Amino acid sequence: MSFKTNFQNVKGTKDILPEESIRWRKAEDIIRKKMMQYNFREIRFPTFESTELFRKSTGESTDIVKKEMFTFEDMGGRSLTLKPEGTPSVVRMFLQHGLFNKGVLQKFYYIERMFRQEKPQKGRYREFRQFGAEVIGSASAEIDAELVKSALDVFEDLNIEGIKLNINSIGCPVCRKDFIRKLKSFLKEKLPDLCEDCNRRYSENPMRILDCKKDKEKIKNAPFPLDFLCDDCKEHFEKFKSYLDYLGIKFNIDSGLVRGLDYYTKTVFEFVHPGLGSQNEVGGGGRYDELIGFMGGGDTPASGYAVGIDRLMLLLPEEEEKYDLDFYLVAFDSESGLLGWKILNELRDKGYSCDKDTMNRSIKAQFREADRQNAKWVIIIGEDERDKGVIQLKNMDKGEQKEVPMDIEKIIGEL
Ligand SMILES: [Zn+2]
Ligand SMILES: [Zn+2]
């Protein structure tokens, strides 16, 4: 027999095989548990949304909307897009389902797949998985600090060390006007030297030039949003820092950090890990006090973040994962196999994992399979056992075997 195919998974996608799935499942369990400890409520949203949602919320001038979205037309000619990030869908759900009526503060979390046409690289896929948390309804810097803490707690519970926190404030529409004017006059004469993207950003969203990896050196003397904060933004940032201190969280102020999305205001933050190389970001987020109003809702402050689970998985300590099984049936003949099958199903009803041969394999091969499956116990049934109404129960760890009446309670009593 040979197993060959000309098909391969599409570039930028990832197959997760059974053993690796154990690690994923464990990580996702840790994320869910932590999110619930913070009283975030789980939401799940569709794989695709109207393209317009991302144009309007993620922002026309962002890299995501400009060049990374998987956009297609359905048969009715509507433009749809595979979700490239979570926040727009969360805000849409919040508004569409009238969740603002259901309480002053809404705390959500999600674990979802996202899609972006980026250049695939280590830990960065075109279909990738994120968990995120969003809090809608509070303007308090306490929420920003609490969000940061919830992500750091997840990293800690996953035993990932070395993730660092960078923070910044990019101000609000009030103080940003002045800053953008100063920034543009600083950048004006440098434009011919800056990359193509930065030249485009200059008219669309000049603050994003501060984020450019290529031009970092050339703009190192640029004015930064921090120097232009209004009193309200300044106070908010001071509080944010003091709450982080209070929670014992170490941080680095990165005045060039602006994040890639249009909707952020005041607090922005990112989690980075040096082990991931030049694309060292694990996740990040910030406050988006303007977005919900912009999307047609009332004036509603909000804050949130997202973390790439694929990237976290690269940072997890190596551990060999194995599946195991409670019972494997070794049957000497087909009649014993049928009888044993019934016992296995009764054991499954009691919560045990069980399996048996279905390929008419030899006794030796059945025992080998029990080993390969890491079975804790083997149930052996042959003609003698059937006649006597018993089974042989073998403890695979100890190698001990004993005769037990063919009765589910008696079998369980022997474990
Ligand atoms: Zn401000
Ligand atoms: Zn640039």
Q: Give the model confidence (pLDDT) of 147-186 as tens digits.
A: 999 999 999 999 999 999 999 999 999 999 999 999 999 9
Tokens representing residue 184 in the block: 């543009």
Question: Taking 70 as the threshold, does the pLDDT of residue 90 lie above it?
Answer: yes
Contact 100, 89 (CB under 8 A): no
- Going from the Cα of 229 to the center of ligand 1, the distance in angstroms, rounded, reads 5
- Opening angle at CA 295, ends 200 and 254, nearest 5: 50
Please compute the mean of the pLDDT values over residues 271-284 and round it to a whole number.
90
- Going from the Cα of 153 to the center of ligand 1, the distance in angstroms, rounded, reads 30
- Going from the Cα of 8 to the center of ligand 2, the distance in angstroms, rounded, reads 35
Average pLDDT of the chain to the nearest whole number: 94
Considering every ligand atom shown, identify the ligand nearest to the alpha carbon of residue 199 and give its number.
2
Work out the pLDDT band at 1, boundaries 50, 70, 90: low
Please compute the mean of the pLDDT values over residues 388-400 and round it to a whole number.
96
- Going from the Cα of 284 to the center of ligand 1, the distance in angstroms, rounded, reads 21
Encode 375-387: b = buried (16+ Cβ within 10 Å), e = exposed. Answer: bbbbbbbbeebbe
- Going from the Cα of 200 to the center of ligand 2, the distance in angstroms, rounded, reads 9
Work out the pLDDT band at 220, boundaries 50, 70, 90: confident
Considering every ligand atom shown, identify the ligand nearest to the alpha carbon of residue 193 and give its number.
2
**Dihedral, 140, 141, 144, 148 alpha carbons, nearest 10:** -140
Instruction: Supply the pLDDT for residue 120.
Output: 83
Question: Taking 90 as the threshold, does the pLDDT of residue 102 lie above it?
Answer: no
250: amino acid identity, one letter: K
Considering every ligand atom shown, identify the ligand nearest to the alpha carbon of residue 178 and give its number.
1
Task: Please state, in angstroms and rounded to a whole number, the distance separating the CA atoms of residues 52 and 219.
Answer: 33
Considering every ligand atom shown, identify the ligand nearest to the alpha carbon of residue 266 and give its number.
1
DSSP secondary-structure letter at 317?
Answer: P
- Going from the Cα of 260 to the center of ligand 1, the distance in angstroms, rounded, reads 19
